Amino acid sequence: MRKEIEGMTAAGPSHRRVEVGMAVFTAVFALIVIIGSMRVGRDWAEDGPRAGFIPFYVGLFILGASLVNLVQAWRDRADERRFATWDQLGRVSSVVLPTAVYVALVPWIGIYTASALLIGAFMKWHGRYNWSRVLLIAIGVPLVTFVVFERWFLVPLPKGPIEYFLGF
């Protein structure tokens, strides 16, 4: 985003750097698995292999594969591909961030109200629709969902203060 402000919209992180990052991430994950399985015992007890026996070796496999991937990505200096432009990453985060807020709101205000907000915000922000259409879809979709899930299929979804106020 920083570079975008400077007007270099075509720039972006290099593909190689993200590859290296992914390999480091999987390696760290492997270490967590290895530590976790050593805590519950990675060897044999009298009644057979203990709970950490398999995860320990699984962790070793991940670690080994990550190291190979890391070395391969590191050595591949000819790879001058761009992972994505800052512009593209901006668009991706314009989905990720609202969804993160949405996910955080669901336990507090229920899935229906949160969905209405998400759909409304998305339509207004990305689509620049007028309010009447935004309200129609943002309220209509959760309402239909409510009828389908709560009434027809009897699957209860998280509800918030508005639903309780309305007596559900």
Partner 1 sequence: MEEIANLFHGFAVVIEPFNLMLMLVGILLGVIIGVLPGLGGANGVAILLPLTFSMSPTSAIIMLSCIYWGALFGGAITSILFNIPGEPWSVATTFDGHPMAQKGRAGEALTAAFTSSFVGALFAVIMITLVAPLVAAFALRFGPAEKFGVYFLAFCSFIGMSKEPAFKTVAAMMIGFALAAVGLDQMTGQLRLTFGSEYLLTGFDFLIAVIGLFGIGEILLTMEEGLSFKGRTAVISPRVVLETWAELPRYWITSLRSCIIGCWMGVTPAGATPASFMSYGLAKRMSKTGHKFGTGEIEGVVAPETAAHAAGTSALLPMLSLGVPGSPTAAVLLGGLLIWGLQPGPMLFVEQKEFVWGLIASMYLGNVAGLLVVLTCVPLFAAILRIPFSIIAPIILVFCAIGAYTVHNSTFDVMLMLVFGVLGYLMKKCNYPMAPMVLAIVLGDKAEEAFRQSLLTSQGSLSIFWSNGLVGTIMALGLIVLLWPLIQSGWSRVFRPAAA
Per-residue tokens: 116: 């209405």
Q: Which of residues 62-91 bind partner 1 (CB under 8 A)?
A: 62, 64-66, 68-69, 72, 83-84, 88-89, 91
What's the closest the beta carbon of residue 3 comes to partner 1, in angstroms?
17
Site string for partner 1, 88-127 (x = CB under 8 A): xx-xx-xxx--xx-xxx-xx---x---x--xx-xxx--xx
- Should residue 161 be labelled a site residue for partner 1 when binding is judged by CB under 8 A? no
* Tokens 């530590």 -> residue: 35
Binding partner 1 (rule: CB under 8 A), the pick from 14, 141, 159, 160 is: 141
User: What CA–CA distance (Å, rounded) separates 105 from 33?
Assistant: 31
* 1, 91 Cβ separation under 8 angstroms: no
To which H or E segment does residue 136 belong? Answer: helix 131-146
Residue 1 identity (one-letter amino acid) = M
- Should residue 53 be labelled a site residue for partner 1 when binding is judged by CB under 8 A? yes
DSSP string, 53-72: HHHHHHHHHHHHHHHHHHHH
Which residue blocks in 41-130 are alpha helix, DSSP H? 53-75, 86-122
Per-residue tokens: 94: 């314009």
Instruction: Tell me which residues touch partner 1 (CB under 8 A).
Output: 15, 18-19, 22, 26, 29-30, 33, 36-37, 39-40, 44, 47-55, 58-59, 61-62, 64-66, 68-69, 72, 83-84, 88-89, 91-92, 94-96, 99-100, 102-104, 106-107, 111, 115, 118-119, 121-123, 126-127, 129, 137, 141-142, 145, 149, 153-158
